[in-house]
Amino acid sequence: MSEFQNIGLIGRTESDSAVVSLKRLMVFLEREGYTVVLEKETAAAVSALNAQISSKEKLGELCDLVIVVGGDGSLLAAARALAKFSVPLLGINRGRLGFLTDISPDEVERKVGEVLVGKYMAESRFLLDMSVTRAGKPLGKGSALNDVVIHPGEFIRMIEFDLFIDGQFVYAQRSDGLIISTPTGSTAYALSGGGPIMHPKLDAIVLVPLNPHTLSSRPIVVEGSSEFKIVVGEYNTTNPYVTCDGHEQVVTNPGDIIRIHKKPHRLTLVHPLEHNFYEICRKKLNWQLS
């Protein structure tokens, strides 16, 4: 008997191709005797009138496994909502790159079927918690599987901030911002900003300056247990934004304090047995020899 009996489904509802894959997956799971629970927006997209429906957060309590059909953005959103429930996630790629959603649409039945009978590998990933305070009072918070980014927001202007790691002053910087990335996010925005690729198993965090005014300011890799404090500079002419995975955001004022640290709950990603990080890098980042 499979360890996964109650299967949650979350889909990229604005994508016609994702809806097609969701319907195909539902037929397969129900034929094999699994209980399917649809996230409510997903249920509306596939017109599943008689299906069991749940909020995204409730899936974490009801399901043994959640399958995300969409791109990496869809899986990031699911991870932020479900990490605290310890429910594993499996991704089917209906997006672009697909670093996290690694099952292709044409092999849904075979690959998902293998996972459901125990032929899979599980990978633990950590997330980041972010909070902002103003004059000692909470202003906003968020979490990220990929990265927390401080940036100018609506205007293209340099911003100033002071960075502290584990209570120690690191630098006062003028730049377009700063990316604080997990290993999972090292192949995303941080990579575009010149940061290193980090293997997902690393317990490390990378800080990548965005177009720093001092050209010698380079990415720094620190241990995953590090705690970061960023003080927004008093003389900024714009209000820096703080975003988590490009979605949850807080608009700051001079003097606000941003704190970032590892989230206590970890995410379990499920992959087919042949999953290979380096092969994914070769394919997605075009490392193949010409």
Query: How far is residue 248's CA from residue 196's CA, in Å, rounded to a whole number?
Result: 25
Query: How far is residue 271's CA from residue 103's CA, in Å, rounded to a whole number?
Result: 8
Domains of the chain plus CATH, in order, are 6-118 (3.40.50.10330), 127-264 (2.60.200.30)
% of the chain residues with pLDDT over 70: 98
Strand-pair category, 241-244 with 248-251: antiparallel
pLDDT of residue 205: 98
Mean per-residue pLDDT, 70-92: 94
Which is the catalytic residue, given 16, 64, 72, 245? 72
DSSP lists the bridge partners of residue 160 as 174
| Locus of tokens 């094999």 | 32
Does 72 participate in catalysis according to the annotation? yes
pLDDT of residue 238: 86
Q: What is the mean pLDDT of the chain?
A: 93
Query: How far is residue 265's CA from residue 196's CA, in Å, rounded to a whole number?
Result: 25
pLDDT of residue 128: 98
pLDDT of residue 289: 62
DSSP-derived 3-state class of residue 233:
coil
| Cβ neighbourhood burial of 86 (10 Å; 0-12, 13-18, 19+) | exposed
pLDDT of residue 49: 64
% of the chain residues with pLDDT over 90: 78
pTM for the structure as a whole: 0.93
How many residues are given for the chain? 290
pLDDT of residue 193: 94
pLDDT digits (tens, 9 = 90+) for 246-270: 988 999 999 999 999 999 999 999 9
147 alpha-carbon distance from chain centroid: 7
Cα four-point dihedral sign 59, 40, 95, 176: negative
